[in-house]
Chains A and B, each alone.
Chain A
Amino acid sequence: MTVRRVTFGVLIAGMMLAAAPALAGPDNAAQKFEHGQKLLADGNFAEALRAFTAAAKAAPDNEEYRQQAALLRRVIKMQQMMASQEETPRWLSMSEALHTYYHENGVYAEALVLDRKVHAQLNTGDSAARLARSELALGMNAEAAKLLGDLPAEQATPEIRMLTGIALARQGQTDDARSILADCQPPEKAGCQFLCDRARLCALVGDTDGALKMLTCCFEQCPPGQLCGCRAGVKRCEDFTGLQDSPGFAKALATQSKVKGGCCGGKAAGNCDKPCGDKGKQKAGCKGKKPDRPCTGQPKQEDDQP
């Protein structure tokens, strides 16, 4: 009887020991990945890369960890190359790529520094808009409003007017924001970004129906490969906080893209387990598992930066 108990106990212990790495692995990898995301948000790129790489090693089957590590490695190299890049067009295209990465990963402080350099060099409406987005993401509403307000009239594109309205609405200047909303109607082929900005502005001035209508249009215009990222960004955007209890918000979020897409080789055939974009590429972060950051809206209170 004692022998049986001892044997049984050894067996159980052995099974637990054997299962421990398997049980610890995924959790351990997830912890490392989450730690990497926090480091990245703080602008600590080197340590974040180490964390992502460690997560990818701990969970070799997890594509997302490997891809995020590869992307961050690429971004770090790009940052180093930018420092010595003398060709302006190349420098600008790198800055655009880095700006996109910073905003998708909530590294707004780095985005602000970069966008200030770009705007100082170019001083165009587009560079101002990009800088304003970074300022708005960091809650620098007054600075964004001043930057956009100081632009010459000919540079006041619909995008810039929407961003101006958002900056004003956040500062409580609702009447001015409403007049921008009324004056600036969506262009005929408004892009996804413009529609999302307009939805934010509608939400900030209290036009719930308008916000939901714009959100629906935004998702309908969004290419299928970008839809999940767009949806995730809207869910996290603080400007839409007032809408989240609205019955139409969930319905708007569920809107499907009307843009033709899918794998050019056949969307249901093959071994594709996720929809591809128009060029068949996999958008970074399309699983929607981004760090807990709004991609276009106001950050959470604890992340306010001076």
Chain B
Amino acid sequence: MKTTRRVIQLAFLILTIVSVFVLRGDAERWCPFGGVEALYTYATAGSMTCSLGVSNFYILGALLLLTLLLRRAFCGYMCPLGAVFEGLQAGARRLGMRPLTVPYRLDRALALLKYAVLAIILYFTWTIGELVFRGYDPCYALISRHGTDITWWAYVISGVFVLASLLILVPFCRWFCPLAAVFAPFSRLGLTRVKRSDETCVDCGVCNRACPMGIQVDKLAQVTAARCTSCLDCIAACPRKDSGALYWGPPNRLGRRWPPAVIVVGVLLSVGVAVAATYAFPLPSFVWTRGKPSGPTATVQLDIYNLTCRGKSRTLVSFLERDDEFALHGHLKLEAWPGPAAAAAHITYDPAQVTATAIREAITEPYYDADTGEWMHSPFKIAGYDPLDLED
């Protein structure tokens, strides 16, 4: 089981690295913590915080369900940061460096820090509407390809945790990760757990030493701690596992033993559901409506470049609402999926008053703002529409 977990961890880490550095995709759109940060703005304004999309919601939802079933299995099997830190720890052990033992009480006290980290991040993100800690986030430092607002602090913080991981078992995951704080209440209610049999357990304590989260497994009949990642390293290390000293499964009352393959299936299913939901039910990240339709409507679907965030979506709205010779009259509705490269936008309009060509012109033609006395360039390009005939 330990090997299987390592393989899955490595697979997700490679997938992340390939997506970010080879395919140059936008890994932030799949960050579950991004879903947490975007919740407030989506609930109040109907649009996402910049750089996030509905895929964040889907992955967050899928992982919360996974957590209810399999506890913090995301942390133990999927998180790229966790994979890196555990890999560093494994490497340190091979070099003969044994991890420091953190006293239990100190460990429990430090574990409260992640709730403070979560509260601070959410307060500023929800009140300001920006991902203010993005520039300091060690995970963002990994997946951003040195993003535009990354600060050198992110690399310092990453470096500190890398060094700390050589000396202590996954300190970031245990004490500082805000996503772990989000998962905690769901993990506490987790359906499955590691169980210990008093009859066959010999209290050797090997399971304690194997647990990366510092759980005192040998003192519990069932491991229901929120921080359990269902890694099953305790079971793998147990010398009496064949006698049933430690096993994993649902609560005792069901009285059955479940193979760890359920975890693997659960992890893969959650990812599959999130991906399927994103592409099968792509809710727009930004919706704006003007007026009501007075008759039949038409919709034009455009792929627009530089429609990258909520701010740019509002810019698009201001061009749709222009009041010069390119003004669009009647009902309009914009549904946009802001993102890198060409972002999808569906614009519904009254065909009796407006044409699809007029919409394209309104979006791309420069605009003179009489209020400010400025000429404004349109930052948008529409795929397949080149009024300047620049493309041969």
Residues of A within 8 A of B (CB): 53, 56-57, 60, 66-67, 69-71, 73-74, 81, 93, 96-97, 100-101, 104, 223, 225-226, 263-273, 276-277, 279-285
Contacts and interface: CB of A to CB of B under 8 A. Distances in A.
A223 B376 CA distance: 14
Contacts of A276: 311, 315
Contacts of B388: 53, 56, 66, 69-70, 73
A243 B387 CA distance: 45
A282 B376 contact: yes
Contacts of A263: 50, 309, 311
B366 A284 contact: yes
Contacts of A226: 372, 374
Nearest to A57: B390
B148 A265 contact: no
Given A56-B388, A271-B51, A281-B376, A265 B309 contact: yes
Contacts of B324: 93
A87 B374 CA distance: 22
Contacts of B55: none
B137 interface: no
Given A71-B375, A100-B373, A281-B318, A264 B390 contact: no
B368 interface: yes
- Of B148, B318, B325, B376, most buried by chain A (CB within 10 Å of CB) is B376
Contacts of A71: 366, 375, 377
B366 A268 contact: no
B292 interface: no
A86 B209 CA distance: 87
Interface stretch (B57-65, B124-132, B171-179): B124-132
B311 A265 contact: yes
B375 A265 contact: no
B309 A283 contact: no
Contact of B374 (A93, A264, A284): A284
Contact of B311 (A101, A270, A273): A270
Contacts of A266: 49-50, 128-131, 309-311
9 contacts: A70-B377, A73-B388, A101-B375, A226-B374, A263-B50, A266-B131, A268-B134, A281-B318, A281-B379
Given A70-B364, A269-B50, A270-B308, A282 B379 contact: yes
Contacts of B314: 264-265, 279-280
B135 interface: yes
B313 interface: yes
Given A56-B388, A265-B309, A269-B149, A280 B318 contact: yes
A101 B376 CA distance: 11
B374 A269 contact: no
A74 B377 CA distance: 11
B335 interface: no
B311 A280 contact: yes
B234 to A, nearest CB: 41
Interface string B24-59: 000000000000000000000000011100000000
A132 to B, nearest CB: 16
Given A280-B318, A284-B376, 17 more contacts: A53-B389, A56-B390, A67-B377, A96-B368, A225-B374, A264-B311, A266-B128, A266-B130, A268-B130, A269-B50, A269-B131, A269-B309, A272-B311, A279-B369, A280-B311, A281-B319, A282-B379
Contacts of A60: 390-391
A265 B310 contact: yes
Contacts of B374: 100, 225-226, 277, 283-284
B379 A81 contact: no
A155 B375 CA distance: 28
B315 A279 contact: yes
B365 interface: yes
- Of B131, B134, B372, B387, most buried by chain A (CB within 10 Å of CB) is B372
A271 B307 CA distance: 9
A292 B51 CA distance: 38
Contacts of A104: 375
B322 to A, nearest CB: 10
A69 B365 CA distance: 11
B370 interface: yes
Contact of A100 (B129, B148, B365, B368): B368
Given A276-B315, A284-B377, A96 B370 contact: yes
- Of A100, A267, A281, most buried by chain B (CB within 10 Å of CB) is A281
Contacts of B365: 70, 74
Given A276-B315, A281-B376, A269 B134 contact: yes
Given A69-B388, A276-B315, A265 B50 contact: yes
B313 A265 contact: yes
Given A96-B373, A268-B130, A74 B366 contact: yes
Contacts of A279: 314-315, 318, 369
B331 interface: no
B325 A81 contact: yes
Contacts of A273: 148
Nearest to A52: B388
B188 interface: no
Contacts of B241: none
B346 interface: no
Nearest to A58: B390
Contacts of B50: 263, 265-266, 269-270, 272
B312 interface: yes
A277 B309 CA distance: 15
